[in-house]
Amino acid sequence: MDKLQVRTAQETARKPSLVEDAYRALKEAIRDNVFPPGYQGSEQEIALRLGMSRTPVHEAIIRLQEDGLVRVLSKRGVQVCPLAPEDIREIYDVIIAIEARAAELLAAMPYEIRRRVADELEEATARMEQALREDDLHAWAVADDQFHRILVERCGNSRIRRIAQTITDQAHRARMLTLKLRPRPTGSAAAHRSIAEAVRKGQMADAHQHARQHRIDARDELLPLIQSFGIKHL
């Protein structure tokens, strides 16, 4: 194999990794509102801001459009999709259903699996509490997001995991944008511990109900807040 073939093979091997890196970086920037709702820019501008080359960013944008996070505008670049209050309501309808089912599925697993997952859920909850004591709302939101990701990623249902990946990214954006507008989230840790304990004990109905009610409470806090501040898009 000559040098050109070696270089081509190396570039081919690196390409999926570069695209995945660009996808994760851009999605995280959208989730944390570095690129806020309604932001519009060229692929080149986005690539420069991320410190990446244009080709993997282009492919990442195609994937993010499939996720519903961005929209490719003909000859006008890329726009981060804004969310209306009704979008948030629909998103929470889905989250309420799938997380309740995920918690129920976890509680039905063998004890050793339940124990490990419950430990992970409680560790994330402890990080939330520590962040709140330090008045670090961003760290609190990161730990809170991790709790909910563990819940769906460990439930054993790959379709729930795929659906949740897209829908919770959108909910996370709304949560980050309104984080400083809401009362301090002191009740979340108790709700999380109730879910984790039901999973640990194999209490399927309780796990389902605790997870469902927790997300209903979040929705019922967030939507009136959006309305009271007259927020049209997130």
Helices and strands in the chain: count of H runs, count of E runs: 9, 3
Burial of 76 (0-12, 13-18, 19+ CB in 10 A): exposed
Q: In what order do the strands lie in the sheet with 70-73?
A: 40-41, 77-80, 70-73
∠ CA 16-64-177, rounded to 5°: 130
Q: What share of the chain is helix, strand, coil (3-state, %, to 5)?
A: 75, 5, 20
Distance from chain centroid for Cα 22 = 17
Closest CA to 69 of 166, 176, 146, 149: 166
Digit-coded pLDDT (tens) for 117-161 = 999 999 999 999 999 999 998 899 889 999 999 999 999 999 999
Looking at residue 110, what DSSP letter applies? -
Contact 46, 57 (CB under 8 A): yes
pLDDT band at 67 (very low <50, low <70, confident <90, very high): confident
Strand residue runs (E) in 74-116: 77-80
Digit-coded pLDDT (tens) for 188-200 = 999 999 999 999 9
Digit-coded pLDDT (tens) for 172-227 = 777 777 777 777 888 899 999 999 999 999 999 999 999 999 999 999 988 888 88
Mean pLDDT of 43-51: 92
> What are the beta bridge partners of residue 70?
80
Domains of the chain by range and CATH? 3-80 (1.10.10.10), 85-228 (1.20.120.530)
Contact 21, 52 (CB under 8 A): yes
∠ CA 101-106-108, rounded to 5°: 95
For a pLDDT cut of 90, what percent of the chain falls above it? 56
Contact 87, 231 (CB under 8 A): no
Q: Residue 159 is encoded by which pair of tokens?
A: 């379709």
